[in-house]
Amino acid sequence: MLYLDNSATTKIHPEVLEAILPYLQEEYGNPSSKFYSLAENAKKAVATAREQVAQLLGCDPDEVVFTSGATESNNMIIKGVADYYSHKNNSSKYLLTSSAEHPSVIETVEFLGERGYKKKFLDVDTFARVNVQNVTETVTKIQPLLTSFMWGNNEIGSLNPISELSEFFEANNFFFHTDATQVIGKVPVNLRKHSGIRFLSMSAHKIGGPKGIGAAIIRKQSKEIFTRLTPLLHGGGQENNYRSGTLAVHNIVGLGKAAELASQNVENNAKRLAQLENYLVDILKGNFGDRIAFNSDIRDKIPGLISLQFIGVNNELLLKKLSNFMALSSGSACSSSKPSHVLSAAGKSLEEVRQTIRITLSADISTEELDLFREFK
């Protein structure tokens, strides 16, 4: 079967699997224990993984907090900042985000709205991106406690104007969080160059790592405000006190290895994905002409993610029909039962949403495999 749903998840990279296995077998020590070699080995493995993630993202190792994935990172950061600063006098009660974010951001902000916080969901353009001027005007007006905009969109692949946003948030000293889950390994990410990003979320299983592990990056430095947040999990004080609980060493090692590979391969990966995408788009255009319409902005996007409509064809029926030999998606794996809120926010009608499919490539697919599409007319 041709797997073309790599934004939903990826297969484990063989080197990641190899790195993980000893920590599910003989190296079973608890990294919080002391002195004996099993514990020290586990501790070293976790420290190495922390460095690998820090290297990938351009931050310090002690700014990396291991979580169960990006859903948890998003929840931890938004709820944690909201809670911590709610106890401070003169603190803003506003949370700012956009209507095209992942459900783990939108639902968290909605939840906090029910708990007395103020919330604002910015409109997005036809490619689900926020507008910098709109952001700066809104931030200046409502002075939010935290703003969260994703780096790249999981449904249509658009990239938000992260450099400009980062500059603005740094210059004005507001907290800015970005969900970078879909761009890691495909777009260069360097937090030292984007020091306006105070918080970042990522997940291992989108980059050839295991499921159930990710990271919340919590940057320390600031001109005026210290970064503080209430822990998501209270207990033994692991992960700088932000997330207690015995560390999942095997998963952390897997994330570390996947991060190392992603940082080594990001340029080649991006090039290869763009090449495969062009190859496939040419086939699709040749075969279907004006019976298809593309949802993504072709200039500035996550390479390898194609969101398109087959005019007049119901996406669910099409996916079912193809499911024996091809794995595709109607938008995202996270909210597949509801019509896409991202496409709706980008101005698509319900009819357009219902005829949209998402194809997400991986760099190891061959053009010969994509030739399968030539058979569909």
Residues within the interface to ligand PMP (CB under 6 A) = 69-71, 102, 104, 150, 154, 179, 181-182, 203, 214, 332-334
d(CA 79, CA 105): 10
The smaller minimum CB distance to ligand PMP, of residues 43 and 358, is found at 358
The least distance separating ligand PMP from the CB of residue 10, rounded to whole angstroms, comes to 11
Quick one: tokens of 263?
């940082």
The least distance separating ligand PMP from the CB of residue 103, rounded to whole angstroms, comes to 8
The least distance separating ligand PMP from the CB of residue 327, rounded to whole angstroms, comes to 15
Phi, psi of 111 (to 5 degrees): -60, -45
For residue 125, how many other CB atoms are within 10 A of its CB?
A: 15
Q: Are 233 and 245 in contact (CB under 8 A)?
A: yes
Q: Is the dihedral of CA 3, 8, 11, 13 positive or negative?
A: positive
The smaller minimum CB distance to ligand PMP, of residues 57 and 284, is found at 57
The least distance separating ligand PMP from the CB of residue 45, rounded to whole angstroms, comes to 21
The smaller minimum CB distance to ligand PMP, of residues 59 and 213, is found at 213
**Active-site residue set:** 334
The least distance separating ligand PMP from the CB of residue 102, rounded to whole angstroms, comes to 4
The least distance separating ligand PMP from the CB of residue 148, rounded to whole angstroms, comes to 11
Count the alpha carbons within 13 Å of 141 in the hemisphere toward its beta carbon. 8
The smaller minimum CB distance to ligand PMP, of residues 46 and 305, is found at 305
The smaller minimum CB distance to ligand PMP, of residues 154 and 296, is found at 154
Q: How far is CA 131 from the centre of its chain?
A: 20
The least distance separating ligand PMP from the CB of residue 212, rounded to whole angstroms, comes to 8
**In three state form, how does the secondary structure of the chain look?**
CEECECCCCCCCCHHHHHHHHHHHCCCCCCCCCCCCHHHHHHHHHHHHHHHHHHHHHCCCHHHEEEECCHHHHHHHHHHHHHHHHHCCCCCCCEEEEECCCCHHHHHHHHHHHHCCCEEEEECCCCCCCCCHHHHHHHHHHHCCCEEECCCECCCCCEECCHHHHHHHHHHHCCCEEEECCCCCCCCCCCCCCCCCCCEEEEEHHHCCCCCCCEEEEECCCCCCCCCCCCCCECCCCCCCCCECCCCCHHHHHHHHHHHHHHHHHHHHHHHHHHHHHHHHHHHHHHHHHHHEEECCCCCCECCCEEEEEECCCCHHHHHHHHCCCEECECCCCCCCCCCCHHHHHCCCCHHHHHCEEEEECCCCCCHHHHHHHHHCC
Closest residue by beta carbon to ligand PMP: 69
